[in-house]
Structures are given as structure tokens and as C-alpha cells.
Structure 1
Amino acid sequence: MEMLMFNINRNINVPIYKQLYENIKKNIINNVLQHDEKLPSKRQLSHYLSVSQTTIEHAYQLLADEGYIYSKNRSGFYINDIVNLPVTYKTKLTNDTQHQPRHFKYSFKLGAVDQSHFPNGLFRKYAKEAFDEAQLYMLDSGHKQGDYRLRKEIRNYIFHSRGVNASPDQIIVGSSTEQLLSIITDTIASATYMIEDPLYKQVRDLLKRKHIPFEFISVRKNGIDIEEINKANKDIVYITPSHQFPTGVIMDLKRRTQLIKWASEKPSRYIIEDDYDSEFRYSGKPIPALQSIDNTDSVIYVSTFSKSISPSIRVAYAVLPKKLLKQYQEKSNIEGGTVPRHTQFILSRFMEEGHFERHLNRMRKIYRHKKNTIINELHKYPNHFTVSGELTGMHFILTVRNGLTLDECIKRAEECSIDIKPLSHYRFKKGDDTPHFVLGFGGIENKDLQSHIEALITCWRTDK
């Protein structure tokens, strides 16, 4: 082979061995250097390029590690056959601004929490404990259902706050509600599903992705339509009874008992109860979880810490009925252990010392203040706005009643730099065209509350 003719640029912040590696790889991919062709020796190439032999050796070793060249004992390096190599062509990075998310001045988005009151000090303290040498056991993968210590704390919490009856052995810790639903669908093979309409799209998307048959069931003013469930002839229903997402409807006791009766009629029937934000009820006595009144062992209870602590903590949990537990444990190919053990340790300590309960009490007051501040302003314009679904949670439904159409409201909101989702965004079947909007308030800082609600009212008023 003739000497390699490469341009080495010594004025850029890229090591010479890396430049050499990229140049040779490019020539191999483009078939300039062909199979079994011999490369110059390290001594020859270092002399020709006026670089050290160590530099050439580093470049050759990178190419050999990735399979682009191979060595023959006492002979040198040769070009490999790259037909079967997973070749990736390098392209120049560009600043693509077309798909950047738009920044809104006023945001009423869902899923956001009050960041200023996150217990940073306590989490820092427990994180330091978690990474102490005495905790080296946490470097192992751990139990697929989650560490027993955390499951025990979850059991205590849901029993005292939601009336949920369970042992730690029935609890599965996962990284999200979606992941837990995936585990449930793997455990109950060949089942068919019903989901509420409207609902967050992740549930529908997961069922579609796994090619699982499902049907939408309408939500009425007192909860999911029981008659539609009876007619559907499906096995499992997924519901959010304590604060229906996103309408805020609370399922009444009559429908709850009807639903449990439906589940009891066949052993293949189950109810998945998603209790995603029940911690934040602002008036009246908290409604017990559906699981707490189930004497048929048919309710799969699911909840998360994403609203009560933070979405980024990525910890959710499910309580399996005893009759499902053995079925789950016998499955060897089900994903588990997805929450880092150090995160589980931190959360366990936070709950053990009573800080979680105190945090909830504090946040309940903060979110109640935010909700009341916004609603009190809206109530000043009864001909323009009505509110529903506000008794629980971190969002409610705002309906515009002044004659603006849904499309007009959406257009005005965009022009006013307001981020707010219409209820239709979460519907799967076409509903009425009334301009209903899902107003999330959890992530708005107290100092910004007034400016947010003033901007929204001004944007949608028609008597300005």
C-alpha cells in the first residue's frame, strides 16, 4: 500500500489519534481501503505524519476494537471485511429548531408539582445515607417487586390513608403506572380490556402497542357507565374512580358496588383502580379506595408518587389481589426491579420518619390555596366561566360559557401564549363541541398565580 494521505489539523481541539481513526474508518466505509489491504506499519506512518508511534497505536487499536481492521502476528494490520459490520455513517449535527417545544408565558399544564416546596434537605440527607459504605448491598439488583422496606412503608401508608388492605408481598414497585400496567397485562394473558373515555392516552397506547383488545366506556356525571360495561363482554376495566382523569368526576358508592358485583360474576374479571392523586382532597371526608370495599379479591390497586412528591422520582406501585399474586410470581419473563435501589432507600427513609405524611399535609394546604385563588377569580365572571371536578387533585375542568367556540378559545390561548389543553385532547370518541379545558395548577408558583389567571380571563373574555 502507498502511504496514507490524510490531513492532520493540529489547530483544532480533536486528538490526532482520533482524527487518524476517523479518516481511516471513512476510507474503509467508502471502499477506498479494501478488504485484506495492508496498512502502513506504526513506525512508517508515525515517521510520515511526524507523530509518535503511540498515537498511531491508539488509532489502530480503536479501529481493531470496532472490527474495521485486524492484525496478523508479526505481519501488521489489515482491512477487515465490513459487509457484515453495523456501519454507522457520521453526519454533521445541525441546530434543528423546527421541533423544539414552544415556550409559553403562562402554563396550566398537567403533571407539574410545586417545585419550591420540594423537601430538598431531607432527600439530600437520605441520599448521603444511601451511598454510605454500609449500604453497598444496594449495588445488587434487588427483589423484582421492589425492596421489602419500601413495600412495607407503602402498605402502612395506603392502609391508613386509603383503607387498602394488603401485605407487602402483594405490592409491586415500578417506575411508572404505564410499566405496572404492562406487568399486569403480561400476568393476565389473553384478557380483554375496557378503559374510560376520556382518559390519558398512555393507557390506550400501551394496549394498542401490545395488540390487546379493548373498548372505550363512557364517563357519566357519577362515574363510568355500568350499563356499557355489562354490554361490553370484556374481562378487565381500567378506571380512575376517586378523581376521574381528566373530568374530575367522583364515582358514587352505588356505581362502586355495582362494579364490584360485575367483577364477582366471573373469575376472569378484574378492576384496575388507578388512584393517581387521591391524596389531595380539599373538602369533606376522603372517599376510601374501591379496593377497601372489595370482598371479592377482584381489584388491582395502582398509585404513584409523581403527584405527591415529584414526577421525576419515577416510583409507582400496584397491589395485586392474592389470587393473582401466584400467577405473577410464576412468570419468569416479566420485567421487574426498574426503580434504582438507592431511590427506594431514600423514599423508605422519608416515609419511615413521618416526613411523607407531613409533606402531604403541607402540600394539601398549598394546592388548596392555589385552587381557591384561581376559582375565586373565575367566579367573578359567571357569564363567562364555570368550574367542575375541583374537589380533589391538582386540576379541574374549566368551561367557557360566553359564546366562544372551542377553536376560537384554542386560537386565542395560543395568541396569548397560554398553555392549556382542551378536554377533547383526552377523548377518544368525538364529544360535544363545548369549550371544556383541563386546567392544571400544581406547577404554578404562588407569586405567578395572579398573573396567570388574569391572562387567562383577559384572553377569553368577550366583553372587554
Structure 2
Amino acid sequence: MSKQSLYINLYESLKQQIIEGQYDANDKFPSKRALGEHLSVSNTTIEHAYQLLLDEGFIYSKPRSGYFVSDIESLPVIYKNQQQQPNEINKNTSASKTDIPYKYAFNMSEIDPEYFPMQQFRKYARDVFEDNEINLLQHRSLEGLWELRQQIAHYLFNSRGVSSHPDQIIIGSSTEQLINLVTDILEKASFIIEHPSYPPIKQVLDKKQINYIQVPVTQTGIDIDTFKNSNNNIAYVTPSHQFPTGYVMNLKKRTQLIHWAQLDDNRYIIEDDYDSEFRYFGKPLPALQSLDTKDKVIYISTFSKSLYPSCRVAYVVLPKKLLEHYHQLSHKEGNTVPVHMQKLVSNFMQSGSFERHLNKMRTVYNNKLSYILDRLKPYNDQLQIEGTLTGMHFTLTVTNGLTLEECLTQAEENSLKIVPLAKYNIEETAPKFIIGFGGIPQSELQAHTDILIQSLTK
């Protein structure tokens, strides 16, 4: 066995032990010398294996203390050796705007570009324009590039437990475009959507004059009991990180929702899993689609948070029965995502770069969130925090008696942009704000947090 395959095998074995829970978070990892002596392998082999684990975030080092196991619940569970194969989005209320007057802003629609692997992405961009890729200049499948659909199927199965065949996946430029497609596919559809909810779903339904009702969202997810009094047959939910409240649907409600869908052939659930890649605390809950045994979940997600918003690549996984309806449509909108972009993203995923990028960004966003939360702790008698388990935004309720008008006035005076939950037509007894933190540079995080505290506290 070559030295290279030896350290790769060691890396895979140690990684699998961490994933399977043989180590707890923050457990001290064996020293390189001790493990080398135990396995009778060279120190170089151990160093190379440990470096790979460090690069992917499975372990971390402390100066003069050694190596420690990262919190596995904050990492995506992607099994490199998994033998079983699987048979847009912008959650802001409007397009991203450049609000020049504001010096500070907690926007929801932004990522941190500082850590984006631009050199690698540039290399893949060059590759897709090589002479041997000249076939990409021709018209391609309306459903999207096969290679990308294949990579998405593998990724969803390994990271979210979503079982799908590449044939079931359709690529689009945004969640809104895919919702529009899904409403074309569904017959005799009447919707149940969350309140508050992601605005484009309401806009699509209003534009197409499709009947819907809005059901309140609680801290444990959408109010399932309301479904019993409705004949509407399609539920649109954001269970992993409800938009905009940040609430996570608990497992009981997930199973209740799936049971509701399975009671009628015409019932389906649209699961918008828009930023599930970023979970920081607690054990990740499975995707609804992974719990479904009767093909009743339409799964939608996007690369706008995991890569960057302007890449404009989203996807939907259709149940097999609805896939047949899709192929029977007399008119299908052409695929609006450039083939070269699809190929670029596919190559990025296939190389393992996407997984490594997610691991890095999860740490970056977790550090930002932890910093903000630590700074807000002394004000817990004035500020109530919710929705911090996952995603790139949380909510902040002002409980010190300040009115919404007073909060916004103070924010304006401090050149701070914050979005009130009231913007989504929901009434709160106290002012509540949506705090997006992903796009704030690390170097500016302290100043942003100082201004946020100054604007909302007495």
C-alpha cells in the first residue's frame, strides 16, 4: 500500500469514527506520536491525515494542547464511502439593494465573500470553456445538466437524507421560478402557506389566482391543527429554519404533516430547505422528504447561501408521480441557468471543494453568530433572542418598553438598517427585528453589534 493511500485510509477511518459518535464534541484527539506508535505508522502519515481532518473542520487544534474533536452536529454528514446511492433563493422581502445612507446593516440576503474560494472557482470556470467542452455551447435538457443533477442527488442523500434519482431533479434560476413550475404541474391545487411566509410564494399564488390560506407559525412550526378544518391540499413550509421567524419545526409536527399528506392522493408538501446547510447548535433534524415513505414531498433548495446569491442556481426534487405530470405539460419554460454555470457548479461539487467550502463557512458563520449572542447576553432583560439554531439570521424582540417607532428612529439616527418583522404583516406585542449576520465582515462585526445594542436598549 502506498504512503498516500495509507494516510487517506487513516483519514477516512478517523473521520468515520467522529461521524458515528465515537468521540464527543471537544474530546481530546490522540496525539500524533501516540497514534503513530499505536498503529506503527510514520509521523508523516499521521500529520497528513490530521491535516485533512483540520481542513474539513472535523478537528481543531489548541496551541501547546493538541487536537480536539469539533462539534459534529455543526458539520454536514457526508459519507465519502457510502455505498447506497440515491435512486433560489433569496429570503429577503425584496431584491438586494445598496442602501448607501446606511453605515451599518444586518441584511438577510448576503454571504461573506471574503472566504469564497475564488481561485478554485476561477479554475473551474476556465475548465468549462476549454476546447473539449465545446458541446456545452449547444441546447441542453430543459431539466438541467445531467452531471449537476447527479451531483445534487448525491449531495442531498448524504447531507439531508433526501432520496432521489437525477431524473427527478429540475434546475432553475430561483425558488420563485420553481414554485411557478410546481403550480403548473399540480392539478386542482389549493395551498396552505405559513404566516408570516416567504413573500414570493404569496406573489406567485396571487398572480396565478390560486386559492390559499395562511396558517400561523408557532415556535415548533406551522399550526397543524388548523389543517383539519381546511380542504386545501398543498402545504408550503420552511421547516428547517422558518422564514422569517427562524423557528424550527419539531419532529412531532414533521411526522404529523407527512401523515396529513399521506391521507389523500392529491395532497403534497412543498419543503423549502433554503439554508439547512448552516446549523450550529443541537442535532440536525431530518428533511421532511427523508421521512416520507409515500412520495408526497416536493423538495426545493438553492445555492444562493451555500455558494453566492448571484450564481442563480436552484433546484426542485419532484415525486415520481408529479414527474410524469411534468413531462405531460404542453408548454415548459426553457431552462434559464447558463449551461456553463451548471457545469462549473457540478465540477465544484464533484471535486469535494463544495463540501470543504461548506465546512469552512459553517465555522465562519457560527463564530459570527456566537460573537453577537455573547455580546447580547448582558441585555437579556431587554432583548429576547430566537431562531439561532440554524441559518444566517435570527430574530430579536425588544422587551424594554421601546416602541417600534422609537427603535426605528434610534436605528436611523445611528445609520443602522434593521428589518422589523412587522414588514411581513404580522402583529407583535413588542418590536421584533430580523437580524441577518452572514454578510458582515469579521472586522466590522464589533462595530455593527455595538450600534445594534445602542439602538435597541435603554
Query: What is the TM-score of this pair, normalised by structure 2?
Result: 0.77
Q: Shift of residue 190 of structure 1? A: 3.1
What is the letter of the counterpart of residue 413 of structure 1?
A
Q: How does 1:427-438 map to 2 (within 5 A)?
A: 427=425, 430-438=426-434
- What is the CA–CA distance in structure 1 between the aligned matches of 2:158 and 2:230, rounded to whole Å? 35
From 259, 264, 277, the counterpart of 1:266? 264
Q: Shift of residue 408 of structure 1? A: 1.3
Q: How does 1:25-104 map to 2 (within 5 A)?
A: 101-104=99-102
Q: Which residue of 2 aligns with 1:314?
A: 312
What is the letter of the counterpart of residue 433 of structure 2?
F
From 358, 378, 381, the counterpart of 2:376? 378
Q: Which residue of 2 aligns with 1:6?
A: none
CA deviations on 1:347-387 (whole Å, 9 max, x unpaired) are: 00100000000000000000000001111101121222121
From 398, 413, 420, the counterpart of 1:415? 413
CA contact (8 A) 1:243 1:278 kept: yes
Q: Shift of residue 388 of structure 1? A: 0.8
> Which sits farther off after the overlay, 447-456 or 132-141?
132-141
User: Are 1:452 and 2:444 an aligned pair?
Assistant: no
CA contact (8 A) 1:422 1:435 kept: yes
Q: Percent identity?
A: 50
Unaligned stretches of 5+ residues in structure 2? 1-96
- What is the CA–CA distance in structure 2 between the aligned matches of 1:334 and 1:188, rounded to whole Å? 14
Q: How does 1:202-213 map to 2 (within 5 A)?
A: 202-213=200-211
CA contact (8 A) 1:389 1:397 kept: yes
- What is the CA–CA distance in structure 1 between the aligned matches of 2:139 and 2:417, rounded to whole Å? 41
- What is the CA–CA distance in structure 2 between the aligned matches of 1:425 and 1:397, rounded to whole Å? 13
- What is the CA–CA distance in structure 1 between the aligned matches of 2:239 and 2:334, rounded to whole Å? 27
Q: How does 1:14-413 map to 2 (within 5 A)?
A: 101-413=99-411
Q: Shift of residue 102 of structure 1? A: 4.7
Secondary structure of the residue aligned to 1:414 is helix
CA contact (8 A) 1:162 1:289 kept: yes
- What is the CA–CA distance in structure 2 between the aligned matches of 1:329 and 1:412, rounded to whole Å? 55
CA contact (8 A) 1:405 1:433 kept: no
Q: Which residue of 2 aligns with 1:442?
A: 438
- What is the CA–CA distance in structure 2 between the aligned matches of 1:140 and 1:232, rounded to whole Å? 48
- What is the CA–CA distance in structure 1 between the aligned matches of 2:328 and 2:319, rounded to whole Å? 15
What is the letter of the counterpart of residue 187 of structure 1?
I
- What is the CA–CA distance in structure 2 between the aligned matches of 1:408 and 1:420, rounded to whole Å? 13
CA contact (8 A) 1:174 1:336 kept: no
What is the letter of the counterpart of residue 165 of structure 1?
S
Task: Give the structure with higher Rg (CA).
Answer: 1
CA deviations on 1:160-192 (whole Å, 9 max, x unpaired) are: 000001000000110000000000001113311
Q: Which residue of 2 aligns with 1:16?
A: none
> Which sits farther off after the overlay, 265-274 or 407-416?
407-416
What is the letter of the counterpart of residue 407 of structure 2?
C
From 439, 447, 461, the counterpart of 2:457? 461
CA contact (8 A) 1:223 1:249 kept: yes
Secondary structure of the residue aligned to 1:254 is helix
CA contact (8 A) 2:300 2:316 kept: yes
Q: Shift of residue 101 of structure 1? A: 4.8
Q: Shift of residue 119 of structure 1? A: 1.4
Query: What is the TM-score of this pair, normalised by structure 1?
Result: 0.76
Q: Shift of residue 100 of structure 1? A: 8.5
> Which sits farther off after the overlay, 166-175 or 252-261?
252-261
Secondary structure of the residue aligned to 1:279 is coil
CA deviations on 1:87-125 (whole Å, 9 max, x unpaired) are: xxxxxxxxxxxx995531001011100011111111110
Q: Shift of residue 246 of structure 1? A: 1.2
CA deviations on 1:254-284 (whole Å, 9 max, x unpaired) are: 1111111111111111000000001001122
Unaligned stretches of 5+ residues in structure 1? 1-98
What is the letter of the counterpart of residue 437 of structure 2?
F
Q: Shift of residue 141 of structure 1? A: 2.0
- What is the CA–CA distance in structure 1 between the aligned matches of 2:363 and 2:274, rounded to whole Å? 18
Q: Shift of residue 317 of structure 1? A: 0.5
CA contact (8 A) 2:160 2:287 kept: yes
CA-based RMSD of the aligned residues comes to 1.3
- What is the CA–CA distance in structure 2 between the aligned matches of 1:284 and 1:436, rounded to whole Å? 24
Change (3 A) 1:100 1:238: closer
CA deviations on 1:419-442 (whole Å, 9 max, x unpaired) are: 110111123xx4223111100000
Q: Shift of residue 345 of structure 1? A: 0.7
- What is the CA–CA distance in structure 1 between the aligned matches of 2:428 and 2:442, rounded to whole Å? 34
Change (3 A) 1:313 1:100: closer
CA contact (8 A) 1:243 1:249 kept: yes
What is the letter of the counterpart of residue 269 of structure 2?
I
CA contact (8 A) 1:239 1:272 kept: yes
CA contact (8 A) 1:388 1:398 kept: yes
What is the letter of the counterpart of residue 459 of structure 1?
S
CA deviations on 1:4-28 (whole Å, 9 max, x unpaired) are: xxxxxxxxxxxxxxxxxxxxxxxxx
CA contact (8 A) 1:106 1:452 kept: yes
Secondary structure of the residue aligned to 1:142 is coil
Q: Shift of residue 416 of structure 1? A: 1.4
- What is the CA–CA distance in structure 2 between the aligned matches of 1:356 and 1:461, rounded to whole Å? 40
